[in-house]
């Protein structure tokens, strides 16, 4: 079996406003984008996720959620993973 190079980007976009739908009467409240990207090669898969957001006062924030590099060895049926993650508490 042969592995090739490639990538994928999943995204969700959200925006909010208030007012009537006439020119110059809609007030912008903010927007956000949730991103999940992967790049794969014969040497492994790199995954990255994050959130981009802006608010009505032109503030822009970027939050990186997690990054993972994974490699699967077909001969030994072993997968190696390295990276970081943000998760919930142990409640």
pLDDT at 9 over 80: yes
Count the domains in the chain: 1
CB contact at 8 A, 47 and 75? no
- Whether 16 is covered by a domain: the verdict is yes
Q: Output the pTM of the full model.
A: 0.69
- Whether 52 is covered by a domain: the verdict is yes
- Whether 88 is covered by a domain: the verdict is no
Q: Hey, what are 66's tokens?
A: 């997690």
pLDDT tens figures, 19-67: 766 666 667 788 999 999 999 999 899 999 999 999 878 789 999 888 9
What gap in Å lies between CA 71 and CA 25, rounded to an integer? 52
Domain range for residue 24? Answer: 6-83
- Whether 40 is covered by a domain: the verdict is yes
What gap in Å lies between CA 9 and CA 26, rounded to an integer? 31
């Amino acid at each position: 079996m042969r592995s090739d190079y490639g990538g994928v980007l999943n995204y969700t976009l959200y925006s909010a406003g208030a007012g009537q739908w006439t020119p110059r009467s809609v007030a912008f409240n903010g927007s956000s984008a949730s991103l999940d990207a992967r790049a794969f090669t014969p040497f492994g898969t790199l995954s990255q996720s994050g959130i981009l957001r802006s608010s009505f006062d032109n503030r822009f924030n970027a939050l990186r959620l997690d990054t993972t590099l994974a490699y699967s060895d077909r001969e030994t049926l072993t997968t190696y993973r390295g990276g970081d993650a943000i998760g919930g508490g142990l409640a």
